[in-house]
Amino acid sequence: MGVCGLLVLVGLTAIVRWGRLDPKPPWSTSDPADTAPAGVVARRYVWYFTVAVVSGVTSGILVAGAGGRLAMRLLAATAGDAAQGRLTEADEVVGRITVGGTIGFIVFTALFFGLATGALYLLIRRWLPAGRLGGVTFGALLLVIAATRIEPLRRDNPDFDIVGPGWLSVAVFATLVVAHGMAVAAVAGRYSRTLPLLSRRAPSVVAHAPLLVLGPVAPVLVPVAAVGALAVLAARLRGVTAAVRSLRWTVVGRAVLVALLLVSAPGFASTVADILGRGP
């Protein structure tokens, strides 16, 4: 638990120090991609994907993983004696914290939840506010749209009947989700300033070495490669890049995000109300 606390502290420090930084590619964004060679466009895609992997996995370890483990320990401790020794949905024993279980939870969270949120952030970052508000907004989007439908605030999670109280579960996990979104944005902003385009030079290859963490989830690389090929082809079409960078596209994107929030809000509120009424 001490190590998890230290990891969370590092994550919070990253948010404070780098939260104002927006992702900054090492090329001029005013250059039209449809005039660049296909190889350059492909390397730009690899650059974005590397930033997504680093920001998502790092934040998944520091905040979602380590912070989630601390949250579980806190909720187990406040659940009372009746909850101790009972099995959770993941077949873990309430009140028993093991090194293997902690490592497994952090790695799983970083590779799947972290990687997904890192990629999502890079996809929608143009539609988010600049600076620190962008990270907060991204965290809020994760909370309202995804937290009650995927994790960690699923209504059908039986663990909320065992640990708690409900208000503490909501407060802790909601804070964790928003903080994770802020960490993703902060790490993406910082790492983007150190990552060059992929080339044959050793420093460039080393800088892209974080992609090796995808080894355990190698099947993910198939759709990633397919999306990359489509992105390269689309960027080569005249006018596509200009349209994506236009004010109209930004307005449409932000309108879509607002619409998703409005549609998701009733379900989010209903699930939160349900969890507030549960617990030991």
Q: What local confidence, expressed as pLDDT, does residue 221 receive?
A: 67
For residues 9 and 31, give the distance between their C-alpha atoms in angstroms, rounded to a whole number: 39
Share of the chain above pLDDT 70, in %: 80
> How sure is the predictor about 126, in pLDDT bands with cuts at 50, 70 and 90?
confident
What average pLDDT does the segment 95-114 reach? 75
Q: What local confidence, expressed as pLDDT, does residue 32 receive?
A: 54
Q: What local confidence, expressed as pLDDT, does residue 241 receive?
A: 66
Is the preceding omega at residue 25 within 30 degrees of 0, hence cis? no
> How sure is the predictor about 93, in pLDDT bands with cuts at 50, 70 and 90?
low
The DSSP bridge partners found for residue 93 are: 87
By CB atoms closer than 10 A (0-12, 13-18, 19+), residue 170 is buried
| Three-class SS state of 147 | helix
* Alpha-carbon radius of gyration of the chain: 20
C-alpha closest to that of 170 among 274, 252, 61, 56: 274
For residues 69 and 57, give the distance between their C-alpha atoms in angstroms, rounded to a whole number: 16
The answer to whether the CB of 275 falls within 8 A of the CB of 170 is: yes
The number of beta carbons lying within 10 Å of the beta carbon of residue 19 is 20
What the block records as the tokens of 156 is 């059908």
Q: Any alpha helices (H) in the chain, and if so which ranges? A: 2-18, 38-59, 66-77, 99-108, 115-124, 132-141, 166-191, 202-207, 221-236, 240-244, 247-276
Is the preceding omega at residue 203 within 30 degrees of 0, hence cis? no
Higher pLDDT residue, 14 or 73? Answer: 14
Instruction: Render the burial of 99-117: b for 16+ CB within 10 Å, e for the rest.
Output: eeebeebbbebbbbbbbbb
Phi, psi dihedrals of residue 196, rounded to the nearest 5°: -85, 170
Tokens 């060059």 sit on residue: 196
Q: What local confidence, expressed as pLDDT, does residue 271 receive?
A: 94
Of 70-84, 104-118, 119-133, 240-254, highest mean pLDDT: 119-133
| Three-class SS state of 148 | coil
The answer to whether the CB of 58 falls within 8 A of the CB of 194 is: no
Phi, psi dihedrals of residue 45, rounded to the nearest 5°: -65, -45
Of 32-46, 68-82, 112-126, 132-146, highest mean pLDDT: 132-146
- pTM for this structure? 0.87
For residues 194 and 276, give the distance between their C-alpha atoms in angstroms, rounded to a whole number: 44
Higher pLDDT residue, 1 or 124? Answer: 124
Averaged pLDDT score across all residues of the chain: 83
> How sure is the predictor about 181, in pLDDT bands with cuts at 50, 70 and 90?
very high
* Residue 40 pLDDT greater than 90, yes or no: no
For residues 154 and 177, give the distance between their C-alpha atoms in angstroms, rounded to a whole number: 13
For residues 251 and 127, give the distance between their C-alpha atoms in angstroms, rounded to a whole number: 8
> How sure is the predictor about 33, in pLDDT bands with cuts at 50, 70 and 90?
low
Q: What local confidence, expressed as pLDDT, does residue 260 receive?
A: 93
| DSSP state letter for 24 | -
For residues 224 and 246, give the distance between their C-alpha atoms in angstroms, rounded to a whole number: 26
Higher pLDDT residue, 42 or 269? Answer: 269
